[in-house]
Amino acid sequence: SQTIHQWPATLVQPVGSPLSLECTVEGTSNPNLYWYRQAAGRGLQLLFYSVGIGQISSEVPQNLSASRPQDRQFILSSKKLLLSDSGFYLCAWSPGQVNQPQHFGDGTRLSIL
């Protein structure tokens, strides 16, 4: 069966520090991969999605970036965090075929001080 791993579960970072969040999927090939952010009490905001290695679509202009160095690995990065980057970051995957739902990792709760 397929599993998605996301780490760390919680992270506290100072303003201006760099960020790297990693997500990996097991048990499937060529998945679509997604990064979302959820502010407290708010809905899901799609940040990036990828349909293949090196293919990244950005949904919202901001100081974050994403990379997909391997088929089942998706990384969210920032060179300098802002206070507004605080939130609950969720990685998700779906099968490469169309019409399939997404499945989420456990998320990373990021607090910027």
Partner 1 sequence: QKEVEQNSGPLSVPEGAIASLNCTYSDRVSQSFFWYRQYSGKSPELIMSIYSNGDKEDGRFTAQLNKASQYVSLLIRDSQPSDSATYLCAGLYSSASKIIFGSGTRLSIRP
Positions touching partner 1 (CB under 8 A) are: 32, 34, 42-44, 46, 49, 51, 57, 59, 90, 94, 98-99, 101-107
Among 5, 49, 1, 7, CA closest to 25: 5
CB crowding 52-76: b at 16 or more within 10 Å, else e: eeeebeeeeeeebebbbeebbebbb
User: CB of 111: closest distance to partner 1 in angstroms?
Assistant: 13
The least CB distance from residue 2 to partner 1, in Å, is: 12
Least CB distance to partner 1 at residue 20 (A) = 20
Helix (H, G, I), strand (E, B) or coil at 53: coil
Is the CB of 34 or the CB of 74 nearer to partner 1?
34
Using CA atoms, how far apart are residues 65 and 98, in angstroms rounded to an integer?
Answer: 25
Residue 61 or 80 having the CB closest to partner 1: 61
Pick 18 or 52: Cβ nearer partner 1: 52
Residue pair 55/5 in contact (Cβ under 8 Å)? The answer is no
Measured from the CB of residue 28, what is the shortest distance to partner 1 in angstroms? 15
